[in-house]
Structure 1
Amino acid sequence: MNQIYLKELNKSQINIDIFVKFNRYQEVKKCWRKQNGDWVLKDIPFTENWSMDDYNTLIEHLYRTIDAGGKVTGAFYNDELVGFASVENELFGSNKDYLQLSSLHTSYDYRGMGIGKKLFRLTCEQAKAMGAKKLYISTHSSEESQAFYKAVGCREAVEYNERLVAEEPCDCQLEYSLEAIE
């Protein structure tokens, strides 16, 4: 029986070919927005489906992550990439205790199988080993994305990273305490 396995990736393993069968499709119906200090779920329907340009931009980002000492991990099934995550290696925040989870994605046909949770757990271990006390996530505000992060124990960030907020003003700024990670 074939199983999902996780593997840290280096730059030579990250190229457009690894993403050939990866399907970053998401049909969004509702998104969270902060209004007057409260989070409100609003009807904001759209479909997200990455283009070749999106994958090329992603590859450049993952290369920069590795060059800066961050980690990129792939989840594989039958040697096919079905999920991936990246954690940056630049501590920030007033106490320099945050590291950013810069990406976490599961291919459309493999969602709901626990791959995202496995990747999240591993990135938490990596971030803690790199000196972080908290993982910081500037993540999509879709109802589904927020449900995932809530299910793994994330909460609204105590401190917002203003650079990340400026880059994606509609994202939700979350954190996860790494204290319980062994």
Structure 2
Amino acid sequence: MTIKYKKLTKDEVRLSLFSNFNRYQEVKKCWRKDNGEWILKEICFTEQWGPDEYKYLVKCLKNTIETGGTVFGAFKKNVLVGFASLENHLFGTKNEYLQLSNIHISYENRGMRIGKRLFYLVCERAIEMGAKKLYISAHSAEETQAFYKALGCIEAKEYNEALVSQEPCDCQLEYSLL
């Protein structure tokens, strides 16, 4: 099955784009920092986005594009099966980070390397925008962290405190673009 990737425009980002998207995740273990060490803990819950989450997502993705960021979509038979977003605000003590704010693959399409391809599209765009590193405030679920670690992401050398305060259980990661 061929997956087509494209940069999305603000007009393309609307609620109907996500009508067949399944943001489902069954979480059994999460990483937590305890006394300076990362420990995998038994933390079980299910995430399933509903109408309110998708409305908020559309608002955020439109804002990303309006402020000069980029949103990529992955499509199978013209149906969105994955997306990623890159913000347009360099930050850090050396102004070298750009934030990968979203990367999600519809549940039925995981394990097909769609996330990996979207990640590398974001990397290419971040380099064009002058970044030296990607910053990812990532879900702490075992599978999510395994995805990022397999790509070469490491714990962020510099934490973005605004992002930490928004999602205190997230793992703060970076990826070198050099």
Deviations 1:105-155 (A, max 9, x none): 000000000000000000000011000000000000000000000001100
Deviations 1:65-97 (A, max 9, x none): 001100000000000000000000000000000
Deviations 1:48-78 (A, max 9, x none): 0001000000000001100110000000000
User: Normalized against structure 2, the TM-score is what?
Assistant: 0.99
Counterpart for residue 48 of structure 1: 47
Q: Does 1:122 align with 2:121?
A: yes
Q: Does 1:156 align with 2:155?
A: yes
Counterpart for residue 133 of structure 2: 134
Residue identity opposite 2:123 in structure 1: C
Counterpart for residue 8 of structure 1: 7
Counterpart for residue 172 of structure 1: 171
Q: Distance in 2 between matches of 1:176 and 1:122?
A: 13
Q: Distance in 2 between matches of 1:16 and 1:58?
A: 9
Provide the identity percentage: 62
Residue identity opposite 1:119 in structure 2: L
Counterpart for residue 88 of structure 1: 87
Residue 5 of structure 1: CA displacement? 1.0
Moved over 3 A (4+): none
RMSD: 0.5
Q: Distance in 2 between matches of 1:113 and 1:148?
A: 12
Instruction: Report SS of the residue matched to 1:45.
Output: strand
Q: Distance in 2 between matches of 1:176 and 1:3?
A: 28
Counterpart for residue 66 of structure 2: 67
Q: Distance in 1 between matches of 2:138 and 2:130?
A: 22
Q: Distance in 2 between matches of 1:42 and 1:165?
A: 19
Q: Distance in 2 between matches of 1:76 and 1:39?
A: 36
Q: Distance in 2 between matches of 1:21 and 1:41?
A: 32
Q: Which runs of 5+ in 2 are unaligned?
A: none
Counterpart for residue 30 of structure 2: 31
Residue identity opposite 2:144 in structure 1: S
Q: Distance in 2 between matches of 1:49 and 1:11?
A: 25
Q: Distance in 2 between matches of 1:63 and 1:19?
A: 14
Q: Distance in 2 between matches of 1:126 and 1:133?
A: 11
Instruction: Report SS of the residue matched to 2:17.
Output: helix
Q: Which runs of 5+ in 1 are unaligned?
A: none
Residue identity opposite 2:66 in structure 1: D
